[in-house]
Amino acid sequence: MSDKQMLFKAEVNGEPVELQINPGETLLEVLRERLGLTGSKEGCGEGVCGACTVLVDGVPRRACLTLALEADGCGVLTVEGLALGKKVSPLQKAFVLEG
C-alpha cells in the first residue's frame, strides 16, 4: 500500500467532507472506518451481494469496488442519509426488518 496521501472532498449525506486518504482506499473503507457510517456493509467484498451499495451522484455503486477517489467531488448518499430529519425513513425501516 502506498503511504502517499491524497485529498478527498465530497458531500456525504449532504455534509461536506474533506479527508486525506490513501489512493487505494475503497469508498466503503472511507465511509465505515473514517466517517463512522456503518450502514453500508461489507458482505462479499466482490461486487456481488450489494450490501455496500451507495448512491454516487444518484447512481448506485458498489462501495467495496469503488475507490474513494472515484467519488471525489461527488455527492454520496448512504442509508444513513435516507433519514427524514430525526425520523427513520420507510426504506431504513425495511432494511432493519430484513436484517
Among residues 7, 44, 83, 88, which is the contact residue for ligand FES, using CB under 6 A? 44
Q: Does the protein bind ligand FES through residue 39 (CB under 6 A)?
A: no
> Cα–Cα distance between 31 and 61 in angstroms, integer?
13
Among residues 21, 64, 71, 77, which is the contact residue for ligand FES, using CB under 6 A? 64
Q: Does the protein bind ligand FES through residue 24 (CB under 6 A)?
A: no
Residue owning grid cell 490513501: 22
| HEC assignment per residue over 40-77 | CCCCCCCCCCCCCEEEECCEEEECCCCEHHHHCCCEEE
By the 10 Å C-beta count (0-12 exposed, 13-18 middle, 19+ buried), 27 is classed as: buried
Q: Does the protein bind ligand FES through residue 48 (CB under 6 A)?
A: yes
Among residues 21, 27, 52, 54, which is the contact residue for ligand FES, using CB under 6 A? 52
Q: Does the protein bind ligand FES through residue 60 (CB under 6 A)?
A: no
Which window, 5-13, 49-57, 67-75, 88-96, contacts ligand FES (CB under 6 A)?
Answer: 49-57
> Cα–Cα distance between 36 and 2 in angstroms, integer?
23
Give residues in contact with ligand FES (CB under 6 A): 42-45, 47-52, 62, 64
